[in-house]
Amino acid sequence: MVQRTLTIIKPDAVERRATGKILARLEEDGFRVVAIRLLRMDEREAGGFYAVHRERPFYGDLCRFMSSGAIVPIVLEREDAIAHLRRVMGATDPAKAEAGTIRKLFGANIERNAIHGSDAPVTAAFEMGYFFPGLEIAAAG
C-alpha cells in the first residue's frame, strides 16, 4: 500500500550540510518527496510538535535541540513508507544502528541523530499537518 510519512532532517545534520546526502539516500530507497520546507522552530513550536513526550525527562532538551537551528521537514511517499523509513533511519542511538542506515552514517549520538520519522499512521497524519497545514499535497503518480 502506498503510504505517506513525515521525516525531519534535524538541526545537527542541516548544520553539517548533510541534507542533500540524506535526501539522495531517501530517494535511492524509493521514496518520493511530496512536500519539503526549510524552517527554524522556536521552543514553543518544538514543544507543540513533541507534546506527546511532555512528561518524559528528555522533553526540554529535545525542544531546545530542535529549535537550535534550521530543520527540513519532508513528506515522503512509497509502499509501506512508515515502516520502511524506520528501517532506513536505523536505531535512535547511532552507536546501535545498523551499518548503512542514516543515523549510523550521519548521527553523532542518541540526541543528535540526524533524522526524525513518524512511527505510525496516526502520528504521520498529525506530523504532516503540523508542518504542512492546509497545504494540498500532490497525489501519487
**Any residues with CB less than 8 A from the CB of 24 and at least 6 apart, and which?**
none
DSSP-derived letter for residue 96 is: G
How many angstroms separate the Cα of 113 from the Cα of each of 14, 67, 83? 11, 15, 18
Q: Which amino acid is at 82?
A: I
CB distance 94 to 108 below 8 Å: yes
Which cell is 86 given? Answer: 524506520
CB distance 71 to 16 below 8 Å: no
Catalytic, out of 72, 116, 128, 131 = 116
DSSP-derived letter for residue 39 is: B
Distance from chain centroid for Cα 13: 11
Q: Is 116 a catalytic residue?
A: yes
**Residues with catalytic function:** 116
